[in-house]
Each structure stands twice: as structure tokens, then as C-alpha cells.
Structure 1
Amino acid sequence: MDNEAPDPLIFAATLLAVARDGAARKTDRTRARLLAALARELGSGLTRHDLKVAEVTRTAGLAHGTFYRYFPDMPAAVETLIEEFSHFVQMHLVAARTGTETDSRERVKAATLVFARLFRRNAGLMRCLIGLAAEETAFARAYRRLNRDWYGRVAGAIARDREDGRPSEEHLPAAYALGGMIDEFLAQIYLRREPALAHLANDEERIAGILTDLWCFGAYGGKG
């Protein structure tokens, strides 16, 4: 088991890979250990209000005082983690769309499948992003930045597919509405654990298929 490659869609595993990289600077490795421990604590079901420096450093295998060499307090550490996680999610979504055929449905399904997998594997971090999106904090800014960049690309794709002469900005409301649909559906499954959707929790392909059908109907009028 120890020799198995880490899941590249689990952000904590990505951080641990940095922490174990002998070629990286010691300060970078230690910082990554702290952030990975923080991600694991959030993944265990704790909220950001429940987090304790002592528990995070214990999970990381570091002295208590080490935490304060990198972060002034726990909120700052969590903000840093969420900021980096936002970029991690965006990177995977862009890669999923870039690596597919030009057919719109295939692009949508590839990105939706990756997002469902990211959501499931990083549910604790997604809870932070979604739950705090309305607050005027670094959490919210990171989430809105992620959304703006992503939905701008989506609106551009809708404009190109429809070829109706309307600028991509006019398709932004549809992009936001469809994105909100996906966020809410995945939150029902992986955060609120809605019993009526429990049978889908282990079937990411089916989840992606359902959401892709709805997305293509709303964005492209059923084409794709």
C-alpha cells in the first residue's frame, strides 16, 4: 500500500508529495507538511472554527511553535490553504477541457467528471469554499476568482457553439446558473449526504452524465 502512487486529485496528497520531495527547500517542505495536515483535519469533518494548532502540528509531526514560523494564526493558514486549493481545482478543470475533442458535450462531460472527482476527494475543502463564498474574506475572494475565470471560459464556449453573434459576456448568466446547479447537486451528495441521492455517491460517471445532459440542454439547447 505504501508503494501506491498518491491520488493526484487529492490536494492533501499533492501537498505531502511536496513535503517529501528531497529536492525542495526545507522551508517549502515544512510549509507543505503543515498545509497537508490542515487539509486532512478539514477532511476529517472539522470546520475551520474547530481547528487547533496543537492538533494540526501533531498531525504534521512538527513542534507546536513551528506553525507560527509560517502563519500568524489559524485563519491565515486556512486562507492560504483555500487559496492554493482554488488554483489546484482550476488547474485540473482547465486540463480536462483542454485535453478533449472539440465536441461540446465531450468537453463538458470531461470537466464535470473531474470536478465530481475533485469534490468527492476534497469534500472538506470544498465545504470551506462553498460555505464561506458569501463572506468578505480571502476564502470568498479565492472562490469568486476561481468562478469568474472559469465561467468566463464557459461563456466563451457557449458563444462559440451557438454562433448567435452575441458576445460571450451575454452568456455569463447562463454559465453561472449552470455552474450553481453543479455545485448544489454535488453538495447534496457529498456534503449534506441527501439520502435520495446516496446511490450516486460512488458513481461519478453517472453523476457526470446526468449533469452533462442538463448542462448541454441549458447551454446549447440540447446540442452536443
Structure 2
Amino acid sequence: MKAKSCQYGPMQTDASDPLVFAATLLGAARDGAARKTDRTRARLLAALARELGSGLTWHDLKVAEVTRSAGLAHGTFYRYFPDMPAAVAALIEEFSAFVETHLETARADPEAGARERVKAATLVFARLFRRNAGLMRCLTGLSAEETAFARAYRRLNRDWYGRVAGAIARGREDGSTAHEHMPAAYALGGMIDEFLAQIYLRKEPALAHLADHEERIADILTDLWCSGAYGVQN
């Protein structure tokens, strides 16, 4: 089954912004302290992220274009990945870890209350979504696929929702379990994904005024999240 076309502008590659995934990979590729093999792999993944972010589906990716973008010989690709699906799978795993690390860091302040932690994570996710919009469009299109890496991506999402459900259970302090809150975790997570997609992917005119106001987006979503998860907004 063919994924939806990723028709979005070129991915931002501002090396000064740690939330831009392709730029982070390029930073790793330029790390003189890293092994050459690790730097080369990072160059390939950065090129792959740029290609997906520029308007291609994974079906349209060509090894020749990825290696050209990376400034590497065609045969170099096959020293790291047996084929394009394996490379895409590696990219998905790296990007998921990249997002998760930023979200966990945002929630890590032990002095913050539940709402403050939710808002911090929501704000970071909105910024990640916006700065990696082309890649996010491509990855969300995997939901309709039955490839091995699409299933792996859904497993990563399930793992994340499990942690979210655990956080809800701990925040409620009523003896409930993470399992009981899995439906809420999926519903709330889906709400956030869809809202950000409306703003940054589908460019919904009714929401256009929010596009440059990430704090406002985070406040709206945090109020809804706290109401749905904890029954309160503050």
C-alpha cells in the first residue's frame, strides 16, 4: 500500500536548533571524536531525513539520491544498510528516540507540578513537530502500512503511550493502574497529533493564527490534557 505523499517544504536544517533532527544527525556526522563508521552512518541518515522531509514518501526514495545528498559513493549505502526499508527502519528508530529524549527531559523537573510537566512536554513536542514537519508527515503516513518498519513504528508508539498511561496513573494518586488509563493515553495523544497536524501539515485556515504561537498551542493542549487525564485544568 502506498503511503500518502509528503508534500511539504524542505526540512529546516538550522544547525543551531537542537530540535531539528536532520541538523542533529549532521552534527553527529561532524563529530571528530566519533568513529568514522558512526559519522558516515549519521550522514546517510541525515540525507534520508532530508529526502523524506522534502516531499518524498519512502517508496520514492532512491539509494543514488540519498548517497548523492550525503556526498558519499553509491556503494557506501550498502555497507550500512541491506536495502532502503532497513535504512528507513533505522531512521524511524533514531527519530523516535530523539523525540522521546526531548520529551523526557522536558518532564524531568522534580520541582514542577503535574500541569507544568505536561505543558513543558507539550511545548517541546509542538516545537519538534513544527521543525520536523515534513518528516512527521511521512511518518504519520505509515499508520496505513503493513511493512515491518511501519509495524515497528506503531510498537514504538504503543510503548510511549504505555509510559504516558503510567504517568497519568501516578498523577491521579487514586490507586489506578497504567492499564486502566491506556484508552485515555491513546485518546489524548491522538488529540495532540491531530491538532498539530491541522496547524503544521494541513495548514487549516481556522488555526493559522496559532502557527507562530507555540506557547499558546501548549496552553490549549495542556488544559485539555489535564482535564481528560486528571479531571482538572490546574
TM-score, normalised to structure 1's length? Answer: 0.91
Instruction: Tell which has more relative contact order, 1 or 2 (C-alpha 8 A, sep 6+).
Output: 2
Q: Which amino acid aligns with 2:161?
A: Y
DSSP-derived class of the 2:16 partner:
coil
Q: CA deviation at 1:134?
A: 4.1
Q: Give the unaligned 5+ runs of structure 2.
A: 1-13
Question: How far apart in 1 are the matches of 2:30 and 2:220?
Answer: 39
Pair 145,74 (structure 1): closer, same or farther in 2 beyond 3 Å: same
1:122 to 132, 138, 144: 132
Q: Does 1:175 align with 2:185?
A: yes
Partner of residue 151, structure 1: 161
Q: Could you tell me whether the CA contact under 8 Å between 2:53 and 2:138 is conserved in 1?
A: no
Residue 103, structure 1, aligned to residue 120, structure 2: no
CA contact (8 A) 1:86 1:142 kept: no
Q: Which residue of 1 aligns with 2:6?
A: none
Moved more, 138-147 or 37-46: 138-147
Query: In 2, distance between residues paired with 1:136 and 1:111?
Result: 30
| Corresponding residue SS for 1:133 | helix
Q: Which runs of 5+ in 1 are unaligned?
A: none
**Which string of whole-angstrom CA distances, capped at 9 and with x for unpartnered residues, describes residues 33-60 of structure 1?**
1110111111112221222222211111
The Cα of 1:100 is off from its aligned counterpart by: 5.7
Cross-structure match for 1:71:
81
Of residues 68-77 and 133-142 in structure 1, the stretch that sits farther from structure 2 once superposed is: 133-142
1:215 CA drift (Å)? 0.7
**Identical columns (%):** 84
1:92 alignment partner, one of 93, 102, 119? 102
Does the C-alpha gap of structure 1 residues 100 and 37 become closer, same or farther in structure 2, counting only changes over 3 Å? farther
Select 2:146's aligned residue among 129, 136, 140.
136
For residue 200 of structure 2, the aligned residue among 190, 208, 213 is 190
Q: Within 5 A, what are the aligned runs for 1:205-224?
A: 205-224=215-234
2-side partners of 1:8 and 1:138: how far apart?
29
- Write out per-residue CA displacement over residues 139-189 of structure 1, whole angstroms, 9 at most, x where no aligned residue: 333433332332223222222332332222111111110001001111111
Q: Distance in 2 between matches of 1:90 and 1:29?
A: 22
- 2:210 equivalent in structure 1: 200
Q: Distance in 2 between matches of 1:184 and 1:194?
A: 11
Are the structure 2 counterparts of residues 139 and 130 from structure 1 closer, same or farther at C-alpha, using a change threshold of 3 Å? farther
Letter in 1 for 2:231: G
Q: Check 1:5–1:71 CA distance in 2 against 1; reply closer, same or farther (3 A cut).
A: closer
In structure 1, how many angstroms separate the alpha carbons of the residues matched to 2:36 and 2:226? 47
Separation in structure 1 between the aligned mates of residue 145 and residue 59 of structure 2, nearest angstrom: 15
Query: What is the deviation of 1:124?
Result: 2.3
Q: C-alpha distance in 2, partners of 1:91/1:78?
A: 20
Question: How many residue pairs were aligned?
Answer: 221
Displacement of 1:76 in angstroms is: 1.7
Q: Give the secondary structure class of the aligned counterpart of 1:99.
A: coil
Distance in 2 of aligned mates of 1:139 and 1:85: 13
1:8 is matched by which residue type in structure 2?
P
Instruction: Sort the Cα spacing of 1:193 and 1:95 in 2 relative to 1 into closer, same or farther, 3 A.
Output: same
Please tell me whether the aligned partners of residues 117 and 204 of structure 1 are also in contact (alpha carbons under 8 angstroms): yes
Query: What TM-score does the superposition give when structure 2 sets the normalisation length?
Result: 0.87
